[in-house]
Amino acid sequence: MTDPAALRPVTADEWPAFARSMLDVFGEEATGSFVEAPPATAELDRTLTLWDGDRVAATSGVYSRTLTAPGAVVPCAGVTWVTVSPTHRRRGVLTAIMRRQLTELHEQQREPVAALWAAEGGIYGRFGYAPAAVRGSLTGPTQRMAFRPGVDLGTGTVTPVDLDGFRAAAPRVHEALRRWVPGQLERDERWWERILRDPPDQRRGATPRRFVLHTEADGEVTGYAAFRVRARDLDDGDPDGTLLVDEVRGRGTPAYAALWRYLLDLDLVRTLEYPQGAADEPLRHLLADPRALHARPTDGLWLRLVDVDRALAARRYPAPVDLVVEVRDPFCPWNEGRWRWAGHPAGGYCGRTDLDPDLVVDADALAAAYLGGVSLATLQAAGRVAEVSPGAVTLAATALSWPVSPWCPDTF
């Protein structure tokens, strides 16, 4: 097994070797500015590398992020760049990386939760991560997406803008909305810069990214959309273009609906694709024919409770709860044991106790339910939660639920 102590952060001078090794494992071309120097979002002191002589054999990193949890914002370790060279597989390297990351987060009392995007679904469950937010992978024929009668489009206007105009207005809208949706991440200037990068070699035959803003009569910007169009003609010459949506956000129904009406009415477009849209995107409920919008939900953001007590105390709960939960967490033994968990709409509490448990739950199951998107009752049906006190699952599932489904459009 690999000793976690053998891992160390990468230096700025070593970055090109680090980046090339990582991109090679991901099967991506190791060229461009990312290879030449660390991006602005990189935190080199939070990276880990394993060296084999002068060659990088494993990589990982952590971003310092802020995650919206139900009723609160929580510091979150954004785990990224995790690779192990094929030459070092099945030697415990990935386990050592995960153990080192989580142990340092716990011992330094940093972020109470960690999150990642999983390249493969079978890797991270054994380290206590679980899918906690779903992406919708939305598609459909735009010609069938007429709105139902009575949809309020408001009196605002939707206007195309250039990149500078979008960057001046969109961050305020995002910041106003992201605190209401579990799973959302903050975006400072560095993250907006990353999100809006538009290298031609990654457009896959589509146009450069386009932008529109929704503006009220008083000049207030209340929504935005970012998208591309991929043109195509059928053999008979009829247009068959595809609308590729990156993001649509509106502060209220009129702004949201007006933005979508603009997008769906684009000329020469016949198909919508919105890979990162929410699984329960409100667009479906604007349509006269809800079947026109197809969803293929798949896992999005994966979550890990680094410290069960700090994580449960950090969020709020729509219904009062006061239970003893026994947590099973062999990978992070500091979470093992019984916790008195209490919560209400104003906050939460979690502390050690010797009382008999009302519930017994795996750490990854608790992580899955943390953002309110997975019911503890569903997890109980899968054998991931054991009810000791009758009715405890119902109480816990109700308390952990949230009116807004978790959604994270930001990959990292």
Contact by Cβ (8 Å): 178, 409: no
Q: What is the pLDDT of residue 4?
A: 77
Lowest mean pLDDT among 31-45, 59-73, 388-402: 31-45
Q: What is the pLDDT of residue 31?
A: 82
pTM over 0.75: yes
| Residues acting as catalytic residues | 124, 412
Which residues are documented as binding site? 82-84, 90-95
CA distances from 26 to 71, 83, 86, 118 (A): 36, 8, 11, 12
* Average pLDDT of the residues of the chain: 96
Neighbours of 143 (CB within 10 A): 11
Q: What is the mean pLDDT of residues 372-385?
A: 97
Q: What is the pLDDT of residue 302?
A: 98
Q: What is the mean pLDDT of residues 299-327?
A: 98
Which residues are documented as binding site for acetyl-CoA? 82-84, 90-95
242-282 pLDDT per residue, tens: 999 999 999 999 999 999 999 999 999 999 999 999 999 99
DSSP 134-190: EE--EEEEGGG-PBPTT----S-EEEEE-HHHHHHHHHHHHHHHHTTSTT-B---HH
Q: What is the mean pLDDT of residues 389-410?
A: 97
Q: What is the mean pLDDT of residues 50-74?
A: 97
Q: What is the mean pLDDT of residues 28-40?
A: 90
All domains in the chain, ordered by first residue: 4-111 (3.40.630.30), 138-297 (3.40.630.30), 307-400 (3.30.1050.10)
